[in-house]
Structure 1
Amino acid sequence: MSQRSTTTALSVVTAVSLLLAGCSSTSERASGTTLDARGCITDFDANTDYFPDKSTLSDAKNFSIDYHGSYQVLTVNQPFPGASPESYVLVKCGAPEPELSGGLATAPKITTPITSLYSGSTTHLPLITELGQLDILTGVANAGNVNGEDIRARIAEGKITEYASGKTVNVEKVVTADPDVLMTQGTDDPSYVKLRSAGIPVVANAEYLESTALGRAEWVKMMAALTGTEAEAAALFTTIRSDYEKVAATAAGVAKQPVLPGTMYQGTWYMPAGGSYVGQLLRDAGASYPWEGDPSTGSLQLNFETVYTQGGTAPTWIVMSDWASTADATDEDQRYGQLTAVKDGQVWSGTKDVGPDGGNNFYQLGVLRPDLVLGDLVAIVHPELSPDHEFAFYRPVPRA
């Protein structure tokens, strides 16, 4: 984690601490009911509300949480592109399993707070660490993608297992470990059917299908539902949202500056559509680009000629390629050399904070902290607004 990321995260933790300092203990807030050290019910009362702290959602649209005394219903509206909604019944430990009807009767039942989680994406990791729940992380799909000394140290110590190296889930390893939950990266996989059959709850995390960066960040409240940290998540997200709005306000009245986002992959340029969270980040940073009016929420697949004709003269090119210099870009595709940003402009890459095995913190902390991402983008597009900005995720690519 970069120094700036660490410093800002500490301010968020301080805010959480102040909020919790004004609250009574968990036991007292649960209407006099006795809870053990883990927060489990020891004397169940059907008339007690065991969720004094309830999450409310302002920006996330792809999941919902409903409270029912001693259990919650977590619903992911689109677990992966084109999928039907999935619901999970989260039962507070110490409470009896509720009698449910309809689709919820067969929905997965998960005892919370969970004590072990297998994570399918690095985007989950800051949701865990910033809520102070690192101990529950017992598995990661690919250890090489992990950024951050704290998690990497636990991997080295054997406290966290890699279960999907080479992108193939080792079903036997997961079943043997028997985690409380395996959280997906918002895709489908044949292994999930086998894991469900073996009794492993598979919970979908599809934050990337949100159309706004703040919507993605608010999935911290989904992690809070599993870990019983609703108050912490509320304080954390409130601070992130406030910081994002403050940064956006600095660029709200300035003239838009043209940028060129995206790169090619196997001959196709993947351009963020205007309705995507990337499109909104660029607009909030005071940037413009030819496809910002497209309402799609994903990426547009374009050819180089189209991109060059409509956006090739932009003085700033924003990429995610880890190039040492623009020579690496033209080595990858010589047509990149025709872009104005390569010839006499600026190329910026979101690869400032990359770990020893290639884990990029942009794809880890950046999802939870869009305020830091936006701060970087404003400094790139409008350097006059923040001349002393310390970048968290982006770095300039030197011109060859």
Structure 2
Amino acid sequence: MIKKRYMLTAMVIIIISLLSGCSQDMDKNEKFLGNQLHTEGSMELKYAKNFSVDYYKEGYALISISDGSRYLIVPEGKDIPTNLDKSITILRQPINNIYLVATSAMCLFDALDSLDTISLSGTKAEDWYIENAKAAMKAGDIIYAGKYNIPDYELIMSNNCKLAIESTMINHTPEVKDKLEELGIPVLTDQSSYESHPLGRTEWIKLYGLLTGKESEAKQLFDEQASYIDQLASQEKTDKTVAFFYISSSGNAIARKSGDYVTRMIELAGGNYIFDHLGNSESATSTVTLEMEEFYATAKDADFIIYNSTIDGELSSIEELIGKNSLLKDFKAVQNDNVWCTSKNMFQETTQFGLMISDIHRMLTNDDKDLAKLNFMYKLSATDGEK
């Protein structure tokens, strides 16, 4: 009996120790984020892997980015919590006068009707295909403040900039990031380009919805795009192959690297990218340059061609395409009139990736020979004609 009592006492002590340890860990976590912060939950994310958001009482939110940076959103009128880890950057609401350098994020702000939070752009007005952004710059509501590597610090300071949103290109000029932070301007580097799933890029709208106070609108916009993927999930693959490329001024074919987000869109649409293993999966570069003969050996058998007009402009006909290189006339897709061209706005429309995937699916499965225009692509005719 005494032995059993000792064993029971020992078990109780062990359980109490474990519970105490858990409690201490929780206390450490709370102190790590400030004495007054108590977690209430996390942002629901379906595809995005390069950021997360934890919610705390009284409207505070902690953003964690895959590059290791963290940002605490402090609601308007609230104090900065004490005992906060020094590595956490403070962003006080309202967050406005933003210097937006990450071009992929502009359409997200536009979709949220939050262009009024942006005062400065790293892209000139004539280089935007987002009409509202272009109009805002022409009206002087958004001012060009220099590229990522040569920002106009004086202009940025004079506009009381509250946040600089950079693309990963800033990693090539870390001294610029250091200078902005030295001037008291927080820098957030958009990591959406590292998302492996196309809708992971779109889901960054939830982060910008948090920054602009429009989380519910962001969720609704994302869910609309995710619904396109959900609708295609039950569809069988077509086994149709697709070549996605453009011809450079030197006559080389510039094709997308296998496994990047564009080729993933083709796969999600039910097709197969014509190149199985093109490019280095470890490289950050999204394209591969191929001499035309090398490109011809594989791509000539593709069922469909999607010509990427982003770099050298939109094409008006198959004849114009063949004019770039005569070898293209032997391509299966050319001979079968299955050649499509992207609209220039395709890569500035991160908010519409679900719809783009739906476009590709329609291209692959629609037997209507009169189908000539989709939301982000148009079909090339044999000779010059209206797109």
Distance change (3 Å), C-alpha of 1:376 and 1:184: same
State the match for 2:66 in structure 1.
77
Please give the alpha-carbon distance, in whole angstroms, between the structure 2 residues aligned to 1:335 and 1:105.
Answer: 60
Select 1:178's aligned residue among 141, 153, 160.
160
Distance change (3 Å), C-alpha of 1:234 and 1:264: same
Please give the alpha-carbon distance, in whole angstroms, between the structure 2 residues aligned to 1:107 and 1:186.
Answer: 20
Larger radius of gyration: 2
Please give the alpha-carbon distance, in whole angstroms, between the structure 2 residues aligned to 1:306 and 1:146.
Answer: 34
- DSSP-derived class of the 1:369 partner: helix
Q: Could you tell me how far 1:89 is from its partner in structure 2?
A: 2.4
Q: Could you tell me how far 1:390 is from its partner in structure 2?
A: 5.8
Contact 1:324 1:398 in 2 (8 A): yes
What aligned pairs does 1:200-219 form with structure 2 within 5 A after superposition?
Answer: 200-219=185-204
What aligned pairs does 1:200-349 form with structure 2 within 5 A after superposition?
Answer: 200-246=185-231, 248-249=232-233, 252-265=235-248, 269-292=253-276, 296=281, 298-321=286-309, 322-349=314-341
Please give the alpha-carbon distance, in whole angstroms, between the structure 1 residues aligned to 2:166 and 2:227.
Answer: 29
Amino acid at match of 1:131: L
Amino acid at match of 2:360: L
Contact 1:319 1:349 in 2 (8 A): yes
Contact 1:171 1:191 in 2 (8 A): no
| Deviation digits for residues 68-126 of structure 1 (CA, Å, limit 9, x no counterpart) | 33532222214xxxxxx22222222222112345xx41332111231222211332122
- DSSP-derived class of the 2:92 partner: strand
Please give the alpha-carbon distance, in whole angstroms, between the structure 1 residues aligned to 2:322 and 2:160.
Answer: 48
Amino acid at match of 1:278: V
Q: Could you tell me how far 1:167 is from its partner in structure 2?
A: 7.2
State the match for 1:20 in structure 2.
none
| Deviation digits for residues 233-276 of structure 1 (CA, Å, limit 9, x no counterpart) | 22221222113321x247x2253112211234456544334422
| Deviation digits for residues 117-161 of structure 1 (CA, Å, limit 9, x no counterpart) | 221133212211222322212122222222344333322221111
Please give the alpha-carbon distance, in whole angstroms, between the structure 2 residues aligned to 1:215 and 1:65.
Answer: 15
Q: Could you tell me how far 1:208 is from its partner in structure 2?
A: 1.6
Amino acid at match of 1:164: G
What aligned pairs does 1:51-200 form with structure 2 within 5 A after superposition?
Answer: 55-69=43-57, 70-78=59-67, 85-100=68-83, 104-142=85-123, 143-164=125-146, 168-188=150-170, 189=173, 190-200=175-185
Contact 2:244 2:308 in 1 (8 A): no
What aligned pairs does 1:13-32 form with structure 2 within 5 A after superposition?
Answer: none
Amino acid at match of 1:284: L
Amino acid at match of 1:287: G
Amino acid at match of 1:341: A
Q: Could you tell me how far 1:56 is from its partner in structure 2?
A: 1.4
Contact 1:181 1:202 in 2 (8 A): yes
- DSSP-derived class of the 1:259 partner: strand
Please give the alpha-carbon distance, in whole angstroms, between the structure 2 residues aligned to 1:205 and 1:184.
Answer: 6
- DSSP-derived class of the 1:384 partner: coil
Q: Identity over the aligned pairs, expressed in percent?
A: 23
Contact 2:50 2:65 in 1 (8 A): yes
Q: Does 1:374 align with 2:357?
A: yes
Amino acid at match of 2:92: T
Please give the alpha-carbon distance, in whole angstroms, between the structure 2 residues aligned to 1:221 and 1:318.
Answer: 30
Please give the alpha-carbon distance, in whole angstroms, between the structure 2 residues aligned to 1:386 and 1:397.
Answer: 12
Q: Could you tell me how far 1:59 is from its partner in structure 2?
A: 0.4
Amino acid at match of 1:311: A
Amino acid at match of 2:108: L
Distance change (3 Å), C-alpha of 1:245 and 1:274: farther
Higher relative contact order (CA 8 A, sep 6+): 1
Please give the alpha-carbon distance, in whole angstroms, between the structure 2 residues aligned to 1:384 and 1:306.
Answer: 31
Contact 1:89 1:107 in 2 (8 A): yes
- DSSP-derived class of the 1:58 partner: coil
Distance change (3 Å), C-alpha of 1:167 and 1:392: farther
Q: Could you tell me how far 1:57 is from its partner in structure 2?
A: 1.1
Q: Could you tell me how far 1:328 is from its partner in structure 2?
A: 3.7
| Count of aligned positions | 335
Contact 2:111 2:351 in 1 (8 A): no
Q: Could you tell me how far 1:335 is from its partner in structure 2?
A: 4.2
Please give the alpha-carbon distance, in whole angstroms, between the structure 2 residues aligned to 1:386 and 1:170.
Answer: 52
Amino acid at match of 1:118: Y
Contact 1:55 1:234 in 2 (8 A): no
Amino acid at match of 1:233: A
Distance change (3 Å), C-alpha of 1:290 and 1:320: closer
Query: Taking structure 1 as the reference length, what is the TM-score of the superposition?
Result: 0.74
Q: Could you tell me how far 1:217 is from its partner in structure 2?
A: 0.5
Q: Could you tell me how far 1:165 is from its partner in structure 2?
A: 6.0
Contact 2:70 2:87 in 1 (8 A): no
Please give the alpha-carbon distance, in whole angstroms, between the structure 2 residues aligned to 1:132 and 1:318.
Answer: 31
Amino acid at match of 1:225: L
